[in-house]
Amino acid sequence: MISATTIRLDMRRARNALSPFQQQNNAAQLLNRLQKNPRILRAKKIALSLTHDAEIDTLPFIHWCWENGKKVYLPVIHPFSPKHLLFLEYQRHTPLQLNRYRIAEPQLNVLTICPFSQLDIVFTPLVAFDKQGRRLGMGGGFYDRMLSPWLKNKTGPYPIGLAHDCQRIDTLPTNPWDVPQAEIFTPSAHYQFNNVS
């Protein structure tokens, strides 16, 4: 089986090979799928990350969330527990800064933190995914740690992956702590997995 490191390199190359037009078109198609989904329509508190390294653009969806009265939360690396994330509300004028991975995140403000368990949906960033709903992230384990209750008994925020179509592969290498996604959306498809009870 191909190593996770090789898959990450290949998938990042594939994402970065997409033209600006393809990126924009993919984001529009993704938004079209997301805004019709009943679970997303019902959700009040949604967590996701801002686009980085040619990931599928989440800004159109963020704007749609704001226009439809949903609260949006972005991940922030915990200042005292650097292997964990906090989720801070993101509004149109929220000041952003780059974290150690060069990803934009809100400046820490304890008044805007939402406890992870109170989120309805968490859209997880991913580098690759497979037909079983497994995701490959960048290797930090942030989301697998946060979503461990979901892995054990399907409690906590509902995990959904967002990706370009080119990020799908047949099978990913796995670890016991990897948390499969309940669903994954791409511009051309909506995958639902039988790992959801």
CATH at residue 67: 3.40.50.10420
Whole-prediction pTM: 0.94
> How far is 129 from 193, CA to CA, in rounded Å?
12
| Residue that has been written with the tokens 């805007």 in this structure | 112
Q: Reduced to 3 DSSP states, what percent helix, strand and coil does the chain have, rounded to the nearest 5?
A: 30, 20, 45
In a domain, 107, yes or no: yes
**What range does the domain containing 155 cover?**
4-192
> How many distinct structural domains can be found in the chain?
1
The side-by-side arrangement of strands in the sheet containing 128-130 is: 135-136, 128-130, 168-169
Q: What is the DSSP string of 20-55?
A: HHHHHHHHHHHHHHHTT-HHHHH-SEEE-----TTP
> How far is 16 from 139, CA to CA, in rounded Å?
19
pLDDT along the chain (197 residues), means of 10: 90 97 98 98 98 95 98 94 92 94 92 96 96 90 89 92 97 89 97 73
In a domain, 101, yes or no: yes
pLDDT of residue 174: 86
